[in-house]
């Protein structure tokens, strides 16, 4: 912002000229003297002060518009993320879906029914996500963190969740058949009516899982399973699970 200050009236040229020593400096002093007069004249021109106020006002208006349109910008960002996800539906690779899913989830947008089947989503971070009825079939979601998420009725058939964090995830009625859960953190998961047929649970941490009402464990590999609740392994083997190193 410009600062208005009263400039003293420049001395007449005749007076200035007498002060100049040596004489070869006269052209330079004269040049500066001309600008002194121009600056003095402009300092007394109110129009410039008005322009300064108008400039400040325009900044204020721009800030107001920026805040009033923030909702529209957020909606545009969400629409762009959904377009990325929907355009790549059923295709391999990432296609920007990791960033899109994480952006939507960070804004607390429900991802119910999202279809990311066959996608490469290694390292995905979707903590507390609402993913009921989502389709992760044949997706590569290794080394991901989806703790505290809602995956009820989700399709995780043939999905690769190896070494992923699924702590406290609600997997009720989810299809985990043929899923790769090797080394996964399943602590506190809810598995009511879940289908774990042929799922690979080797080395998975199942501390505190709610397993009493699991729907199907036929062919599930429970070899080396960690922190199994009392009675779980015997029950699973009796239901057709296997222990294959």
DSSP 11-59: PPHHHHHHH-SSGGGHHHHHHHHHHHHHHHHHHT-HHHHHHHHHHHHHH
Residue 226: left if φ>0, alpha if ψ -120 to 50, beta else—which one?
beta
Confidence of residue 53 (pLDDT cuts 50, 70, 90): low
How far is the C-alpha of 163 from the C-alpha of 168, rounded, in Å? 15
Report the share of the chain in percent with pLDDT over 70. Answer: 76
Structure tokens at 160: 């690769």
170-225 pLDDT, tens digit per residue, is 999 999 999 999 999 999 999 999 999 999 999 999 999 999 999 999 999 999 99
Q: Identify the band that residue 95 occupies on the pLDDT scale cut at 50, 70 and 90.
A: confident
**Mean pLDDT score, 86-92:** 88
Most confident segment among 21-35, 59-73, 161-175: 161-175
Average pLDDT over residues 108-131: 97
Pick 48 or 210 by higher pLDDT.
210
The phi-psi region of residue 178 (left if phi > 0; otherwise alpha if psi is between -120 and 50; otherwise beta) is left
| Dist CA 10 CA 17 (whole Å) | 12
What is the per-residue pLDDT for 41?
65
Claim: this prediction has a pTM higher than 0.75: no
- Residue 196, Cα to own-chain centre: how many angstroms? 31
Q: Please answer whether residues 146 and 127 qualify as being in contact, where contact means their C-beta atoms are separated by less than 8 angstroms.
A: yes
pLDDT score recorded for residue 33: 64
Q: What is the pLDDT of residue 9?
A: 73
Q: Is the dihedral of CA 221, 224, 228, 232 positive or negative?
A: positive
Confidence check: pLDDT of 123 > 90: yes
> Which pLDDT does position 191 carry in this prediction?
97
Distance (Å, rounded) from C-alpha 52 to C-alpha 49?
A: 5
- Give the model's pLDDT for residue 11: 73
Q: What percent of the chain has pLDDT over 90?
A: 65
More confident residue, 45 or 78: 78
- Output the pLDDT for position 73: 74
Whether the CB-CB separation of 126 and 145 falls below 8 Å is answered with yes
Lowest mean pLDDT of 46-50, 151-155, 184-188, name the range.
Answer: 46-50
User: Poorest-confidence range of 34-38, 113-117, 123-127, 128-132?
Assistant: 34-38
Instruction: Burial-class residue 1 by CB neighbours within 10 Å (0-12, 13-18, 19+).
Output: exposed
């Amino acid at each position: 912002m410009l600062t208005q200050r009263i400039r003293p009236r420049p001395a007449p040229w005749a007076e200035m000229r007498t002060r100049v020593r040596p004489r070869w400096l006269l052209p330079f002093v004269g040049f500066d003297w001309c600008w002194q007069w121009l600056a003095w004249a402009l300092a007394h021109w109110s129009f410039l002060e008005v322009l300064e106020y108008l400039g400040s006002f325009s900044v204020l208006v721009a800030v107001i518009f920026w805040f009033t349109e923030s909702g529209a910008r957020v909606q545009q960002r969400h629409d762009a993320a959904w377009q990325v996800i929907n355009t790549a539906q059923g295709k391999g690779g990432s296609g920007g879906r990791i960033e899109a899913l994480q952006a939507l989830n960070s804004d607390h947008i429900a991802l119910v029914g999202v279809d990311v089947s066959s996608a490469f989503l290694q390292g995905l971070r979707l903590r507390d996500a609402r993913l009921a009825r989502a389709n992760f079939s044949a997706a590569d979601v290794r080394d991901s963190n989806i703790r505290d998420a809602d995956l009820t009725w989700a399709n995780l058939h043939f999905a690769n969740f190896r070494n992923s964090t699924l702590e406290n995830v609600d997997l009720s009625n989810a299809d985990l058949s043929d899923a790769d859960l090797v080394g996964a953190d399943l602590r506190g998961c809810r598995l009511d009516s879940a289908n774990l047929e042929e799922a690979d649970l080797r080395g998975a941490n199942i501390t505190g899982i709610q397993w009493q009402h699991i729907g199907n464990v036929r062919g599930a590999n429970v070899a080396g399973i960690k922190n199994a609740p009392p009675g779980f392994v015997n029950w699973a083997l009796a239901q057709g699970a296997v222990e294959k190193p």
